[in-house]
Chain A
């Protein structure tokens, strides 16, 4: 259904459409950066394409690829013609892309999010701030080289020693595992962390939760016999 759109774009823009592909019924065109905004505007205004609904705008990071690192991807849909298209433009790290805010109002937040998550700048955007994260955040989390567990707290954590947590939520809680170690992979070492050895920081939880809970209940029973007597009668009800 959407081949007509691709056809129409090819007719109109010729060389400026770098690539087009169709996979599982999704049509996609890759355009060069200079004509990107023009193509989108054409898609909206041309009566044959009539893309009136702004679908989505996002980016993908390909750090291992030769050439520009990021893809900015725009999804458009026509309500009336019932077709849709995906437009892709390649951007190198540090480069900026023309904004779409004057074509689709909805692009405003989408571009802000894209900037927030990938650090891609949009030329002419009226208000390019972070949107999901906070201003103090450094780096862009959806880049592949941003380690998933690097948190940047805004408040100081309390001293660990005065967190008297009980075992189910012990100090070493959580299951920090990453199947793909991107840092190592980008440095050219050790492509994939074996999931069965897994868990490259070590599986910290040994007992199953219920076992811990049982051990905990027993400990409670030993320590506070009075409180527990009531607790167990609750449970039996």
Chain B
């Protein structure tokens, strides 16, 4: 018998780990957590007794920064809220200001917004699912999904000129009309993206390890989810079919046929599957939107108080020069009042509560960050689980620092 075994045999009970709660601090820079966040865990062995989730490491003063520029200058900041799907934030903010000013964007512009927005949603879900699977040890799906994301980015880049932070939305429309081969470009990538998603699904869904790591992990009941204000894929995974696109259709979402996938237990597996399915539904929406989208016509309102005049007019006519100057220097002035407008962003209901005092500068821009509330419920999902469950739970909640901490 080896000496070590002897010791083990005689002092077996002494080697038991102490059972009193152990405090473990995870983060703020933990490799398996995308984004910086800190968790203070109280552990009994492997079991989590309590957890204090501390966000805020990426607080960049979004709301304060908005109060010092013009209304148009808020767009770049909104890009960097949920930086995985910036266009959706642009649109959300633009819709809020348009609601305040009662502006209606031309129909072609609305379709354009829908298509770009859904492309951004696809990119969002690709990244979040890829990151979630990478964190539980499946690296290949991440690379495949990133490959698919590059195709989406190629189209977005051709349209907007930027890969990630587009700042493409404008109050009253979009910055530019679609490129001539917009429709072909989108149609060309959709099947490729869907095929990649299918491959990933084939790889992960029948995988025993992946099932064990995610099924029954980090679940939450319907009632608690609503209490916490969960929205988006996390709420739908818990079985509530709430999707702003269906329940309160904005833009032209009431013209499309699509389904709202829901899960059952609200666990990590359900959240993962709901996102996979949403990619397919977004592709369906895009196909229909491309069918219906008119090939010509304006994408922005024709209102000199809101939109910048054409560049060649600015250089040739004095009226346009003055209009341009006024709009840039003073900003455009919405009527005083306050509105709350909400859209379905990548992580759930993205609300903008904006207050105007009638001047060219927003009085207050409050964003309702969906993943702030999603992350809040994380504590309840984790208590009672094991340490290893933190990673899949946190990964599928998809906390995005820019949006959560603003």
Q: Which residues of A contact B (CB under 8 A)?
A: 23-26, 52-56, 58, 60-61, 73, 75, 79, 82, 86, 104-106, 108-110, 113, 117, 130-134, 141-142, 146, 148, 177-180, 192, 195-196
Give 7 nearest A-B pairs by CB, closest first: A106-B229, A54-B229, A132-B56, A132-B59, A56-B368, A106-B228, A105-B227
Residues of B within 8 A of A180 (CB): 67-68, 359, 361
- List 14 A-B pairs, Cβ < 8 Å: A23-B337, A56-B351, A60-B355, A73-B353, A79-B240, A104-B229, A105-B380, A106-B228, A110-B373, A113-B372, A132-B55, A148-B65, A179-B69, A180-B68
Do B64 and A142 touch (CB < 8 A)? yes
Query: Complex: how many Å from CA A53 to CA B329?
Result: 41
Q: Does B187 contact A (CB under 8 A)?
A: no
A191 to B, closest residue via Cβ: B359
Q: Does B163 contact A (CB under 8 A)?
A: no
Do B229 and A56 touch (CB < 8 A)? yes
Do B68 and A58 touch (CB < 8 A)? no
Residues of B within 8 A of A117 (CB): 63
Residues of A within 8 A of B70 (CB): 179
Residues 223 to 247 of chain B near chain A (Cβ within 8 Å):
224, 226-229, 231, 240, 242, 247
Q: Does B102 contact A (CB under 8 A)?
A: yes
Residues of B within 8 A of A146 (CB): 64
Do A52 and B64 touch (CB < 8 A)? no
Residues of A within 8 A of B63 (CB): 117, 142
B101 to A, closest residue via Cβ: A24
Contact pick for B247, options A58, A82, A195, CB 8 Å: A82
A23 with B339: in contact, given A56-B351, A106-B228, A131-B55 (CB under 8 Å)? yes
Do B353 and A24 touch (CB < 8 A)? no
Residues 327 to 372 of chain B near chain A (Cβ within 8 Å):
329-331, 337-340, 349, 351, 353, 355, 359-361, 364, 366, 368, 372
Do A26 and B228 touch (CB < 8 A)? no
Do A179 and B227 touch (CB < 8 A)? no
Closest Cβ of chain A to B226, distance in Å, is 5
Residues 17 to 68 of chain B near chain A (Cβ within 8 Å):
54-56, 59, 61, 63-65, 67-68
Query: Complex: how many Å from CA A139 to CA B331?
Result: 30
Q: Which residues of B contact A (CB under 8 A)?
A: 54-56, 59, 61, 63-65, 67-70, 99-100, 102, 224, 226-229, 231, 240, 242, 247-248, 329-331, 337-340, 349, 351, 353, 355, 359-361, 364, 366, 368, 372-373, 376-377, 380, 405-406
Question: Which secondary structure characterizes the binding site on chain B?
Answer: mixed
Residues of A within 8 A of B100 (CB): 24
Closest Cβ of chain A to B289, distance in Å, is 24
Do A75 and B353 touch (CB < 8 A)? yes
Contact pick for A179, options B361, B364, B368, CB 8 Å: B361
Closest Cβ of chain B to A80, distance in Å, is 10
Residues of B within 8 A of A131 (CB): 54-56
Query: Complex: how many Å from CA A115 to CA B64?
Result: 15
A109 with B372: in contact, given A58-B353, A75-B340 (CB under 8 Å)? yes
Query: Complex: how many Å from CA A25 to CA B99?
Result: 9
Do A133 and B339 touch (CB < 8 A)? no
Closest Cβ of chain B to A69, distance in Å, is 14
Do A106 and B64 touch (CB < 8 A)? no
Do A132 and B351 touch (CB < 8 A)? no
Do B376 and A133 touch (CB < 8 A)? no
Contact pick for A195, options B64, B102, B329, B339, CB 8 Å: B329
Do B330 and A195 touch (CB < 8 A)? yes
A51 to B, closest residue via Cβ: B226
Do B373 and A178 touch (CB < 8 A)? no
B69 to A, closest residue via Cβ: A179
Do A105 and B337 touch (CB < 8 A)? no
A104 to B, closest residue via Cβ: B227
B53 to A, closest residue via Cβ: A109
Query: Complex: how many Å from CA A87 to CA B127?
Result: 37
